[in-house]
Structure 1
Amino acid sequence: MPTQPTNPRHVVDPRTLEMLVCPLTKTRLTLSADHTELISVAARLAFPIRRGVPLLSLDEARELSEDEVRAISARG
């Protein structure tokens, strides 16, 4: 499993995260526990963060499994 980025230049600013929404549902995104993805529970998609840049393209997103959605919903 990928780990949290060690280079501070590759960390997404929390203020930026507050402004981002899912490109499909326009709902709030949640940062994954390992800080490598932005999660849209409504769309059941995970968008990767690469070198501190969120890739909010549907082509880049991966579908979340039912177990992942349940775990994320229980977390927060």
Structure 2
Amino acid sequence: MAITLDAQLLEILACPSPDHAPLRPGTPDDPDADALTCTECGRVYPVRDGIPVLLLDEAISPTDPDDSHADGA
């Protein structure tokens, strides 16, 4: 399901990482995903119940493997 954020809100939202780049809807693999992707660093931020979760701890880094965390095991 594609996210539906107000256009004005999307204009002012920015990645919370130090580069503060604009965000675009969707992910690189799925433009209709409930997420926002940073145009600079590529981090993907989830959108839950229509609310963007712009926390670096919640972001999926473009270098992370699919839905898994490397724990050295």
After TM superposition, where is structure 1 displaced by more than 2 Å over at least 4 residues in a row? Answer: none
Q: In terms of Rg, which structure is larger?
A: 2
Residue 23 (structure 1) aligned with residue 16 (structure 2): yes
Question: Cα deviations across residues 7-54 of structure 1 (Å, max 9, x unaligned)?
Answer: xxxx32121111101110211111111141110131120001011100
Question: Which residue of 10, 34, 38 corresponds with 1:40?
Answer: 38
Q: Distance in 2 between matches of 1:4 and 1:27?
A: 21
Q: Could you tell me which runs of 5 or more consecutive residues in structure 2 were left unpaired when the two chains were aligned.
A: 64-73
Q: CA RMSD in A?
A: 1.6
- Give TM-score, length-normalised by structure 1: 0.66
- Give TM-score, length-normalised by structure 2: 0.68
Match of 2:54 in 1: 56
Question: Cα deviations across residues 33-76 of structure 1 (Å, max 9, x unaligned)?
Answer: 114111013112000101110000001100125xxxxxxxxxxx
Higher helix share: 1
Matched residues, percent identical? 31
The count of residues paired between Structure 1 and Structure 2 equals: 58
